Amino acid sequence: MRTLTLTGLSGESRLVPAAAVDALAANLSGPLLRPDMDGYEEARQIWNGIFDRHPGLIARCTTTEDVVHGVNFAREHGVLLAVKGGGHNSAGNGSCDGGLMIDLSPMNRVQVDPQARTAQVEGGALLAHMDQETQRHGLAVSGGGIISHTGVGGLALGGGFGWISRKHGLAVDNLLAAQVVTADGQVRHASPDGHPDLFWALRGGGGNFGVVTRFTFRCVPLGPEVYSGLMVKRFEDAGNYMRFHRDYVRTLPDEMTAWMVIRHAPPLPFLPPEVHGQRVLVVPFVWLGAEAEGARLIEPMRQATPSLGEAVGMNRWVEWQSGFDGLVGHGARNYWKSHHLAELSDPCIQEILRYGAQLPSDECEIFIPHMEGAPARVPEEATAYAHRRTPFVLNIHTRWQRPEEDERCLAWVQAFHQATRPFARGVYVNFLSDEGANRVRDAYTPPVWERLVQVKRRYDPQNLFRLNQNIAP
């Protein structure tokens, strides 16, 4: 009997009958790709260039039924299973070596009901797909991230925040229902009225419980333009500005979102050429309201310390949402470490500045979003997304191009993360790299974790869905 060698769930080699592989290929409406086939190289690629993985098979799914066939194949033959939506997470979990990749990227359709203000979003859609379709009707989905080539699925299952979530809630707070293929190959419709335990776990528990092939989101009116922009300030003034910012933004209405980013200045057209490449503090913001009131609210930020340049005004929402894409394109090497911050205290700021003065590459960023607002008013155990009360997030986004830079960049991020641990209260699961089982638990409070384990035991007792920030049964 002819066989194909694939990777098993625990990393062992599995001999799978060739007839079973042929049957899977015959059942799929999309192609089943092997390493020697056209399209394989493109399909196996994911965003983070650290990971150069080669699945044994790639199922290019175009329907929910395709996903069912893929899940059944992996379960019946004990084959390692990866699920790729946008392929954008730092940990590289959208791919695997030698196993089966379920590639959802062909499933990228978005259907909007403007009267009901809902959007049906397939599991392989990117934020760009969702933003473009919802904006045709003057709508948006809150919690929809900040980089348009991010996959909706991974973002939403981990929580999902963005420029309008302080006003309108996280992606998980706006999820109305989900169509899920669970480990037994069943298609389940999770909502408050159907499989409510699964619906609860999907809203923050990541890809642990099945493959979501369709999301139903609540939409909010937005745009087509928002008052938004960037103020770029000298790094030498960053301490003074950060101490002002941490207090001032907490007085602002939910309609205002203002963040901080420490990085080397990209060649933005509104910056003098001599500023390009300098270490700077960038203050991006979005205001959901009249331009004049937004201008009044950002004026103290303008005046707190001098700016090297700024670009502020009315911007089309879809263009703002994609405006930072070029800074985090595909193929570079990325490693993230993150904390929810209990407070942005003076000692914490001191450590951020110390490591900000040592950025190991021109592409590294220290990203400090202000949270709070509507998500903080949701009970912490209402969804699996925890740590709703922390006012700030610290994401250390280490990014570089060449393998020979690995040691230097990784040493910097590890030391930085350790130095800021005393100020932390948990972590956002979507900002985790491959950091081990104990670190995954930090993304959840103990009661939430215990409940997630119970749901995992019910829907995936064999841990078929393990290539994620894993909640083991």
- 238-284 pLDDT, tens digit per residue, is 999 999 999 999 999 999 999 999 999 999 999 999 999 999 999 99
Band (pLDDT 50/70/90 cuts) for residue 366 is very high
In terms of DSSP bridges, do strands 57-60 and 81-84 run parallel, antiparallel, or are they unpaired? unpaired
In the prediction, which pLDDT does 144 show? Answer: 79
In the prediction, which pLDDT does 216 show? Answer: 98
Which regions of 95-143 does DSSP assign to beta strands (E)?
Answer: 100-103, 110-113, 118-122, 139-140
Compute the distance between CA of residue 179 and CA of residue 191 in angstroms, rounded to an integer.
9
Compute the distance between CA of residue 449 and CA of residue 445 in angstroms, rounded to an integer.
6
At position 392, the amino acid (one-letter code) is F
> Tokens 């909502």 map to which residue?
191
Q: Is 270 helix (H, G, I), strand (E, B) or coil?
A: coil
Q: Is 472 helix (H, G, I), strand (E, B) or coil?
A: coil
In the prediction, which pLDDT does 109 show? Answer: 98
Q: Is 455 helix (H, G, I), strand (E, B) or coil?
A: helix
pLDDT tens column, 220-230? 999 899 999 99
Tokens of 372: 């709070």
pLDDT at residue 1 above 80?
A: no
Who's near 31: CB < 8 A, 6+ residues apart? 25, 37, 39, 60
Q: Is 248 helix (H, G, I), strand (E, B) or coil?
A: helix
In the prediction, which pLDDT does 50 show? Answer: 95
In the prediction, which pLDDT does 89 show? Answer: 87
- Give the count of beta carbons closer than 10 Å to the beta carbon of residue 196: 11
* pLDDT (mean) for 432-438: 90
pLDDT tens column, 204-220? 999 999 999 999 999 99
In the prediction, which pLDDT does 119 show? Answer: 98
Compute the distance between CA of residue 229 and CA of residue 226 in angstroms, rounded to an integer.
9
Q: Is 349 helix (H, G, I), strand (E, B) or coil?
A: helix
pLDDT tens column, 6-45? 999 999 999 999 999 999 999 999 999 999 999 999 999 9
DSSP category for residue 211: E
* pLDDT (mean) for 357-374: 97
Tokens of 294: 């937004």
The mean pLDDT of the chain is: 96
Domains of the chain (ranges; CATH) run: 3-103 (3.30.43.10), 110-222+450-459 (3.30.465.10), 225-431 (3.40.462.20)
* pLDDT (mean) for 141-164: 94
Q: What are φ and ψ of residue 447, in 5° steps?
A: -65, -40
* pLDDT (mean) for 57-78: 98
pLDDT tens column, 166-185? 999 999 999 999 999 999 99
In the prediction, which pLDDT does 145 show? Answer: 85
